[in-house]
Chain A
């Protein structure tokens, strides 16, 4: 299938599309934690790296089939997300942010010293199992599941926690448990993306998952609109395309990201699509519906 596709699409663009797909999965995971539930996680890349390394090692050292490796990676990261979540999600937002940074740093240092992971040199020779079809199939599945989640009782509870945690608790929402849930689900997606990344790039090292990566992902969610699925997708697309299209050298890219964050917070804290809500569309549709009801009355 992929061979077919690469006949029609230039490999360069194919690569970009792959990266966009992977970033969408990663960003949606972060969106769930930070955008929807309002828990600032600045260590998302840490979970990504757990997924990447775990799945790579499963594939390489245990020769397990791709799906299994991916799943293993995702489960391990989700487990850590759960583990970290329990004690720390009782903390105020600022502290949580620091803990997530700290956690990601500890993971990075761990992998730097991790023999089977190749330490600082990294891991190479990862079988390139990630295909275009696989990535985008997963992207679509993830989007659909996310949409269903956010429209459900649990999704509403997540939003409620972000909006007003005390009122949420007064409505019967166990905020600690749900925050941990959001964290676990988000890390699952992060590590899924990490696994896909590892099996595409063929080579990974701890540097790939440094603080900057967490910031890139945060930028995608913030730019697109926190809590909004289309917003996050848009953010991921823009921030994957932009550096490629503009051929910006890595250092300038970071300068841009930094300034962008500040400017967004001052002028448009809800991002590009954060203020656009399904309600607005519904309202316009409702205008038509009212007419029908009135006639049946």
Chain B
């Protein structure tokens, strides 16, 4: 039985990881907790659903469509709500602005789509396999595969390409990167774009997996993914992946063996524990402040 839980946890965790990556990358580069990120995930889910239902597109294409849409959305948000604050505002202002965007987007979605839960039509063929004691659904396999591909892709992007190098430089020292001739604004936009695309992918997949899409799904998932990013070590890409998966597994295990009504509290409990015991997370390093 525990293997089943682990599989479920792994699947859930991969989606958390996809969202957590966006958080961690943005925090790494501009030290901002992008509260609106959860909403991007939610909008991705809606766009995916919309494309499948209204244009009869195949789910894979819909996924790409959602990712593209959210890429643009993410960049817009950065441009409108965060860039004007960069450099001249306190951290508090940044966080408050992000909260504002988050509220705005989720409310907008409520107005557009109403609060009821939307469901996917029966076009997706989900099969369940028996592997020993395990019940594996084809959906879980798809999610795991897609998530892994995306994460591997991200690692390659960040480690092996020029853009990736620029991203890493910016997250180490924004001013120095600027002085080195890196177009910092563009790299930041790009970071938002990638993070949003990943979140959108997560959104579409979760929407299908639980067959439920509703405007407030982003708030909870966003907070949990943030907890995952902190758990893994904020600013660390491998950390976000590890944190996401760990959190997913812990949550499923908690529900199975403790209590399901406290499901949401598990993530926050972990968050608080991590911040108290080891704030730099699993992969993070202690940073001494320069005085």
Contact = CB atoms under 8 A, between A and B. Distances in A.
Are A and B in contact, CB atoms below 8 Å, in the complex?
Answer: yes
A257 B89 CA distance: 20
B196 interface: no
Nearest to B105: A258
A111 to B, nearest CB: 11
Contact of B104 (A99, A113, A226, A258): A258
A99 B219 contact: no
A262 B81 contact: yes
Interface in B115-153: none
A258 B275 contact: no
Contact of B271 (A34, A102, A252, A257): A102
B264 A269 contact: no
A245 interface: no
B100 interface: yes
Contact of A255 (B84, B107, B262): B107
A34 B95 CA distance: 12
A106 B268 contact: yes
A265 B269 contact: no
Interface stretch (A86-94, A125-133, A178-186, A200-208): A86-94
Contacts of B108: 255
B268 A102 contact: yes
Contacts, number: 125
B223 A105 contact: yes
B156 interface: no
A215 interface: yes
A265 B85 contact: yes
A265 B100 contact: yes
A261 B100 contact: yes
B276 interface: yes
Interface string B226-262: 1100100000000000000000000000000000011
Contact of A258 (B102, B219, B271, B276): B102
Contacts of B2: none
Nearest to A102: B268
A101 interface: yes
Contact of B272 (A34, A93, A102, A166): A102
Interface residues of A, number: 43
B38 to A, nearest CB: 12
B157 interface: no
Given A88-B276, A101-B223, A102-B271, A218 B96 contact: yes
Interface string B97-116: 10111111111101100000
Contacts of B101: 258, 262
Which of B84, B91, B94, B272 has most chain A Cβ within 10 Å?
B272
A103 B262 CA distance: 13
Contact of B92 (A40, A110, A254, A260): A40
Contacts of B164: none
A76 to B, nearest CB: 19
A251 interface: yes
Contact of A99 (B93, B107, B264, B271): B271
B265 A88 contact: no
Contacts of B272: 88, 99, 102-103, 106
A263 B85 CA distance: 11
Contact of A106 (B81, B99, B106, B269): B269
20 contacts: A34-B92, A42-B99, A91-B279, A95-B275, A98-B33, A105-B265, A106-B268, A211-B219, A222-B96, A226-B92, A252-B107, A255-B108, A258-B99, A261-B99, A261-B100, A262-B101, A265-B94, A265-B97, A266-B81, A269-B93
Q: Which 7 interchain pairs have the tightest Cβ spacing?
A: A261-B100, A258-B104, A258-B103, A102-B268, A262-B100, A254-B107, A265-B97
Interface of B: 27, 31, 33, 80-81, 84-85, 89-97, 99-108, 110-111, 219, 223, 226-227, 230, 261-262, 264-265, 267-269, 271-272, 275-276, 279, 291
